[in-house]
Structure 1
Amino acid sequence: MVELIGGSPHSGWWRILLVIAFAATFFLHVFCHSGDDPGYNFLHKASIAPPISYYDYIVIGGGTAGCPLAATLSKNADVLVLERGGSPYGNPNITLFSSFGAAISDLSPTSPSQRFISEDGVVNARARVLGGGSCLNAGFYSRAGPVYVQDAGWDGQLVKESYQWVEEVVAFRPEMGGWQSAVRDGLVEAGVVPYNGFTYEHIQGTKVGGTLFDKEGKRHTAADLLKYANPSRIRVLLHATVHKILFRRKGLTRPRAHGVIFRDELGNVHRAYLNRGAKNEIILASGALGSPQLLMLSGVGPAPHLKAHNIEVVLDQPMVGRGMSDNPMNAVYIPSPIPVEVALIQVAGITPFGSYIEAACGENFAAGAPIRADFGMFSPKIGRLSTLPPKKRTPEALAKAAELMSKLDARVFQGGFILEKVTGPLSNGHLELRTRNPNDNPTVTFNYFSNPQDLTRCVQGIQTIEKVINSRAFSKYKYKGMTFQTLLNLTAQAPVNLLPHHPNVSTSFEQFCKDTVMTIWHYHGGCQVGRVVDSDYKVMGIDALRVVDGSTFLASPGTNPQATVMMLGRYMGVKILRERLAHREHQ
């Protein structure tokens, strides 16, 4: 065992470095693993759609917010959902936890994830699958805190009911293993107190949160919330890429959304329009990249930018695409001298200074059954995990890397990550169109750590991780004599992003934060409340158009946003139906 942490470059250290190189971006590669096919009779490929159709509501995006929103609206209205991706159901590679990460090496146009690289040099992902971001994460389920709910101006009772509506289908209590328990106890020992036990609530201290994985190891996503839908009043079209929102302007004091143009999987063009009715609407739920992107493509955005792309300006709205933020995440890899369980994020340390501590771990075998320890995180098929420069990442070179990985000692894969995520954050950037093709990623800049308070919080988070690793509770999962400085050095030498690394990163926690920053996919903004949409999520200056998704957030809710995004879909669905009913009663 000593050879794993010492000796020649051909024995121990290089192996650990290689593990980190293949593992450091684990958090980018947790893909959709939903349960058995529910047999929705309203789920179809877009090519079955007629050239022209009419609905009361058109929801653009069947993601984390779009699914619960559409399911709710269908109770009292005719709803069309246009999802650019495919179904999460029916693929054995994405069904079970034991097959975790199998979809990660799929970089085809129909993959459940579309990779993008921010202008900051951090590799990221956006959803392209029914269920959206709930299919692209580590499954951790935790609500927003009461202060967040109050600041958002939400109805507290309806928020609670909406969370519970979601939780009936997708949230479960995780089974804790030794490594995760050690992190939990180490957090308490490090002063992240009190210990609040298992809870969905966002409470200062240490807690065990919920998970999207049930006890059989099946993932449940926002797509499962479509079980609440009225099947006779909803149609969900897959591989339906919306190219443009259509507006009426003639004779009106302000533009009014009234339809969309979309293409199916065969490239055929379809149009969907709103039925006549004052309360019928188009609702964007395409996420923090997709919603501002589609607004711009439809002529709503900064006029100079739209004109530069030869897009007719419907409304000069300079705040579309502004306020883009991504919570910076930094992780420390800890090789373990003893086997650890396979587990995703289960524990959260909610500190008073604005950093959240979480962890994930894995090994090659669990309970005697062969389970890939990589979860996709050790996959040599993922470009930036390779130590090769991007231009040299040919299929042949990656195949060679895969062969090398297969020959490594299984003990090298024992261990896990402890990460910290900065709350908020206060740093922000912007999004712009790259092309007029909605299938192309826009350009996005997050400006990580441009606000010094974010960097201070990162440093405090790293210091807390050090206390956890050095705690008595965690001691058996750490090699004796391996200092925290050594762990930082190992992590910092991995190609975790496309940024140049400082040669003396380990001498400064600040430099470590800057050099090893990664995403935890909690990016948000672009259509923010008070800037692009009002408190009812209606696009300001335009009628019959709302945005309901994470692009409206001013800050990421709680430790992980997916629970709140699903809640928001249900919450706004209820509010919109109440408005519809009130309008009918007053006619």
Structure 2
Amino acid sequence: MFDYIIVGAGSAGCVLAHRLSADPGVRVLLLEAGPRDWHPYVHIPAGLAKLVLKKELNWDYSTAPEPQLDGRMLWWPRGKLLGGSSSINAMCYTRGDARDYDEWVSLGAEGWHWDAVLPYFRKAEGNSRGADAFHGAEGPLTVSDPRHRNPLSAVFVEAAGQAGFPLNADFNGAVQEGFGFYQTTTRNGARCSSATAYLDPIRGKRPNLKIITGALARKLLFEGGRASGVLYTVGGAAFAEGAAREIILCGGAINSPQLLMLSGIGPAAHLRQHGIAVHTDLPGVGDNLQDHLDICTLQRATQPITYDGADTLLNEARIAFEYLLRRQGPGTSNIAEAGGFLRSALAEDERADLQFHFVPAQLDDHGRNRLPGHGFTLHACFLRPKSRGRILLASTDAGTKPRIEANYLGDPEGFDRRVMRECLRISRQIIAQPAFSPYRGEERFPGAGVVDEAAIDAFIRRKAESIYHPVGTCAIGPDGDRMAVLDPRLRVRGVTGLRVVDASVMPRLIGGNTNAPTIMIAERAADWILSGA
């Protein structure tokens, strides 16, 4: 019998394993469906460009056909290994706007205001710039400035300033808006995933922590109204383990609602359609799905200074040698080195509503479609979408991928679509600035002929993709709200001994990348769990 069972060793699960097992008087079991984080591409920052091809490290999800995107099935990569998506992401460290968390409170997430969450961001963070009112310097998660920047990344920041937009040296400081360079979750030139930060220091050193990889959770077990254990398989063998205190689901916005529904917790009618006995009718499980939709502007470069062509054998050998010998050079780059946050003319409040990631390479179809020559890419996404989707079961088999209905651009007023046009317009405005003149070739996507509204909308339908920030499917909400899956301390309503701690708990998508907020959520949950709250 374990005291705690954690399902999922991703961004949140690794935090909880570290914090809970710090008490030698408790036994902790950490279950991860994927393998250990052994692959060298995981640890070399620039290796993320190769990770898209490593399906053994990826849940490799796709959405159902999206009605507003020409019926396309959009690819949703999610990490399936120790560290989860923090082991395969682009390592950009952002927290969103402080007012995002105050908005959570207005939606029923009592106690999640900015002043309450900031100490947990600081607790997690080990920022190489040192500590201040916004940053921590002693936390397990190393945050640092990239050791290598492609010259075009500085050109992009200069161009944003020439376009009249503010510059910002710290997106996680007093003000989020502006353009500059991302800090990244890297340490000494290598990726600092949640597994690196929280598991590596304790692996093999705490006899009260057991980590099992290749373990697919099949369903939760109950004793009356209490979650008492987990049924899982490793290879072809089935196992069941009990939890004396709590079971904590950390599978993310797709896997956590899937496991709840497979266990009889979710929308009763949907569960009965699949022949699943209803343990707890929670209509909100799988609902409220939100994600950032992203559009890319691709420009040919007139000079061969981009990262295109880095995958030739000679260049790979040179980059690897410099990385292994000195932990310097392009191998230390997260590729998306620069970017920014901007409040567009369509913003509905004082927060930035657009985010940009600049990539000094041609990135099409998540990097899976390799384009000839040299070029650069400007990602732009709408931070505050009104569209909502859902996760549904496709089968009663946990090994079958659930149905993901993202419902991009599905808001009935068409507001999301209008902001996506702004994303493209501002991207073109920045690229047109004098700083890019020595490097700017023809526009490859969407192309110079795509100008009028109808043509831009057609391009968005044809090329827009996820930028990997799904949240909201096990959302915190107020008492009395039937769609609220969790109470403000992340306990599943109607069940004792069960919490969800991952990005699925967010009632509203934050304005930025979601990895750092997920780690913050886990740090806060660990304090509650250890105190018995």
TM category (shorter chain) comes to 0.7 to 0.9
What is the letter of the counterpart of residue 95 of structure 1? Answer: H
Do 1:192 and 1:350's aligned partners in 2 also have CA atoms closer than 8 Å? Answer: no
Match of 1:235 in 2: 210
Change (3 A) 1:526 1:505: farther
Match of 1:22 in 2: none
Change (3 A) 1:134 1:375: farther
Corresponding residue to 2:30 among 81, 103, 107: 81
Any idea what the Cα deviations from partners look like across 1:473-500, whole Å, max 9, x if unmatched?
2222202xx3x5x6413898xxxxxxxx
Do 2:99 and 2:114's aligned partners in 1 also have CA atoms closer than 8 Å? Answer: no
Does the alignment pair 1:115 with 2:75?
no
What is the letter of the counterpart of residue 461 of structure 1? Answer: C
Corresponding residue to 1:443 among 403, 407, 428: 403
Q: CA deviation at 1:511?
A: 3.1
Change (3 A) 1:487 1:302: closer
Change (3 A) 1:228 1:111: closer
Residue identity over aligned pairs, in percent, reads 25
Match of 2:500 in 1: 547
Match of 2:512 in 1: 559
Q: CA deviation at 1:162?
A: 2.5
Give SS of 1:529's match.
coil
CA distance in 2, matches of 1:65, 1:93: 22
Do 1:119 and 1:444's aligned partners in 2 also have CA atoms closer than 8 Å? Answer: no
Gaps of 5+ in 1: 1-53, 250-254, 364-373, 380-384, 386-404, 493-503, 581-587
Match of 1:361 in 2: 360
Do 1:190 and 1:467's aligned partners in 2 also have CA atoms closer than 8 Å? Answer: yes
Corresponding residue to 2:378 among 409, 418, 424: 418
Corresponding residue to 1:527 among 466, 470, 474: 474
Does the alignment pair 1:267 with 2:215?
no
Q: CA deviation at 1:335?
A: 1.1
Match of 1:176 in 2: 149
Does the alignment pair 1:95 with 2:59?
no
Change (3 A) 1:155 1:571: farther
What is the letter of the counterpart of residue 334 of structure 1? Answer: Q
Match of 1:536 in 2: 489
Match of 2:259 in 1: 294
Matches within 5 A, 1:277-316: 280-316=245-281
Give SS of 2:446's match.
helix
What is the letter of the counterpart of residue 287 of structure 2? Answer: R
CA distance in 1, matches of 2:115, 2:473: 28
Give SS of 1:426's match.
coil
Match of 2:192 in 1: 220
Structure with higher Rg: it is 1
Matches within 5 A, 1:403-482: 412-451=372-411, 452-479=414-441, 482=442
Does the alignment pair 1:163 with 2:135?
no
Give SS of 2:288's match.
strand
Give SS of 1:149's match.
helix
Q: CA deviation at 1:203?
A: 0.8
Q: CA deviation at 1:433?
A: 0.5
CA distance in 2, matches of 1:314, 1:111: 33
Any idea what the Cα deviations from partners look like across 1:150-198, whole Å, max 9, x if unmatched?
23332645633332343323321124331111111222222332x1214
Corresponding residue to 2:337 among 326, 342, 346: 346
Match of 2:528 in 1: 575
Change (3 A) 1:490 1:82: farther
Change (3 A) 1:240 1:345: same
What is the letter of the counterpart of residue 78 of structure 1? Answer: R
Gaps of 5+ in 2: 67-72, 105-110, 127-140, 308-332, 348-352, 478-483
Any idea what the Cα deviations from partners look like across 1:213-237, whole Å, max 9, x if unmatched?
3453x21211112246572321111
CA distance in 1, matches of 2:116, 2:200: 20
Do 1:64 and 1:222's aligned partners in 2 also have CA atoms closer than 8 Å? Answer: yes
CA distance in 1, matches of 2:286, 2:358: 32
Q: CA deviation at 1:305?
A: 1.2
Give SS of 1:434's match.
coil
Change (3 A) 1:228 1:541: farther
Give SS of 2:52's match.
helix
Corresponding residue to 1:331 among 281, 296, 299: 296
Corresponding residue to 1:210 among 183, 200, 220: 183
Give SS of 2:516's match.
helix
| RMSD between aligned residues | 2.5
CA distance in 2, matches of 1:526, 1:129: 22
Matches within 5 A, 1:120-135: 120=66, 121-135=73-87
CA distance in 2, matches of 1:558, 1:97: 24
Change (3 A) 1:80 1:155: farther
CA distance in 2, matches of 1:528, 1:191: 38
CA distance in 1, matches of 2:255, 2:493: 18
What is the letter of the counterpart of residue 274 of structure 1? Answer: A
Do 1:362 and 1:413's aligned partners in 2 also have CA atoms closer than 8 Å? Answer: no
Do 2:156 and 2:358's aligned partners in 1 also have CA atoms closer than 8 Å? Answer: yes
Change (3 A) 1:289 1:478: same
Change (3 A) 1:114 1:270: same
Q: CA deviation at 1:248?
A: 1.5
CA distance in 1, matches of 2:289, 2:12: 18
Matched residue pairs, number?
A: 458
